[in-house]
Chain A
C-alpha cells in the first residue's frame, strides 16, 4: 500500500514518526528535522498574519518550543503532524498577536456529550487522510482555494473577507461550503 504519510526532507522517517520520537525519547535530531520542515512554513503562515520578518521568526521559535514541550501529548491516531502543529501555531498567534484566549473544549469534562462511537480510527488513519486531503486541495477551483487560504491564514472571519474582497456574503459562504464538502468527501472516502 502506498505510504501517504508526510515524509520529512533529510530523514527517512515520516513527520509523525519524528514527532513521536520527540515525545517519547526527547530525540533532538528528530526535533531538528521537524524544525527544518515546519519553521519555514510557520514563518510564511505568520507573515500572512501580518508579522514582520523579525516578529515572525521569534514566534516561529516560540511555536517550535511548544512543539518540543507538548510532543508527549501528540497522538498520531488523532491528527497528522501538520494538523497538530497547525493548531499549536494558531493558538499561539491568537495569544501573541491578539492577546486573547482561545476557548476550547476539555475532552475530560464530564459535561461533554460523547459521540455515539468515537475513536473508531486506527493508527494510520490520520496520516493517510492527510495525504488524500493534500491531493484534494490541489483539485479545488482557484476561487474556492483562494477563499480557503484567506479564511485560514489572515485572521479574518468570512464576513470580513466578504466586505474586503467585495464578494457577496452568500457567495463567500457557498464557496467555502463547496470547498469543505469536497475536502470532507476526500477525508471520509475510505472510512
Chain B
C-alpha cells in the first residue's frame, strides 16, 4: 500500500493537535491522517506536547464545592462503552473508498450526493458542517474529468486539497490518493487532473479569486 508524499506540515498539524483549526480544516487534516500513518505518529506526539503543556500550566484554584458536585454526579450516567459500535454495514473485504471521518459527513455512495456542475468536466458538492462553522472554512468534494483543471486562481486565505481517488498535477508536483496540497496567497497555481480523473476534498478559509478571463464569469458562482 502506498503512503502519501505530500503532507500538511508541522504547523498545520500543531493547529490540529491543539484544537485551533476550524471544522472544515480539521476534517481534511483528519482524513489525511487516516491515509498517512507517518502524520498520525506526528499528531500523537503533538498531543503529548499538549499534555506536557497542560501539566506545566500555572494551576488556578478551584472551588472545593466543585469536587463534591462532580462526585455526586458520577452515577448519573453509565460509563461509555469500551468498543465503539461494530460496523455491520461493510464487510471487511469491501474497503470503502472514503475514509473516516469524511465518510460520516458524506456517506460512501458518491452517486447519491447533490453534485453541482461548475464547468464542463468539473462538478462539486458542498459538505454541510456544524452550525458553529458558519462564516468559517468551507469544505466541498470536487470531481474533475481527465485533463480538466479550474481556471488560474490565487487565494486570499489557505486552500487545502486532499486527493481521494485518481490524481492531479500542478507546479508543485504530482498528487495521488492521500496527498494534501497546501496553497496560500503566494501560490498562483493551475492544477490539472491526471488521465484517470480526480476526486478530491477541498477546503478554503476565504473565497478563491480566479485571475484569468474566465474567472470573471466563475467567481460569482463558486461561492467559496
Nearest CB on B from A130, distance (A): 6
Contact in complex: A110, B96 (CB < 8 Å) = yes
Contact in complex: A79, B47 (CB < 8 Å) = yes
Please indicate the chain A residues that have their CB under 8 angstroms from the CB of B33 in the complex.
105
Please indicate the chain B residues that have their CB under 8 angstroms from the CB of A91 in the complex.
19
Report Cα–Cα, A118/B224, bound state, in Å.
39
Nearest CB on B from A85, distance (A): 7
Contact in complex: A86, B51 (CB < 8 Å) = yes
User: If A57-B66, A86-B47, A158-B14 touch, does A105 touch B40 (CB 8 Å cutoff)?
Assistant: yes
**In the complex, which residue of chain A has the Cβ closest to the Cβ of B31?**
A103
Nearest CB on A from B38, distance (A): 8
Report Cα–Cα, A92/B67, bound state, in Å.
19
Please indicate the chain A residues that have their CB under 8 angstroms from the CB of B99 in the complex.
105, 109, 111-112
Secondary structure class of chain A's binding surface, majority of residues = helix
Report Cα–Cα, A34/B96, bound state, in Å.
41
Report Cα–Cα, A106/B84, bound state, in Å.
9
Q: Any chain A CB within 8 A of the CB of B193?
A: no
Contact in complex: B3, A151 (CB < 8 Å) = no
Contact in complex: A111, B96 (CB < 8 Å) = yes
Nearest CB on B from A38, distance (A): 8
Q: Any chain B CB within 8 A of the CB of A73?
A: yes
Nearest CB on A from B181, distance (A): 17
Contact in complex: B20, A156 (CB < 8 Å) = yes
Q: Any chain A CB within 8 A of the CB of B92?
A: yes
**Which residue from A60, A104, A108, A112 sits with its C-beta under 8 Å from B87?**
A108
Please indicate the chain A residues that have their CB under 8 angstroms from the CB of B14 in the complex.
151-152, 158, 176, 180
Residues of B129-167 contacting chain A, CB below 8 A: 129-133, 157-158
Nearest CB on A from B13, distance (A): 9
Report Cα–Cα, A78/B44, bound state, in Å.
9
Nearest CB on B from A163, distance (A): 12
Contact in complex: B18, A152 (CB < 8 Å) = yes
Q: Any chain B CB within 8 A of the CB of A1?
A: no
Contact in complex: B30, A157 (CB < 8 Å) = no
Q: Any chain A CB within 8 A of the CB of B107?
A: no
Please indicate the chain A residues that have their CB under 8 angstroms from the CB of B35 in the complex.
111-113
Encode contact with A along B58-102: 1 for CB under 8 Å, 0 otherwise: 111111001101110110011110101001001010111111111
Question: 7 tightest A-B contacts by CB?
Answer: A83-B51, A40-B59, A99-B132, A115-B37, A82-B51, A103-B101, A106-B100
- Not counting A28-B74, A57-B62, a sample of 16 additional A-B residue pairs whose C-beta atoms are within 8 angstroms of each other reads A72-B82, A82-B52, A82-B55, A93-B19, A103-B27, A103-B101, A104-B30, A109-B99, A111-B97, A111-B99, A112-B35, A113-B36, A114-B37, A115-B38, A158-B14, A180-B14
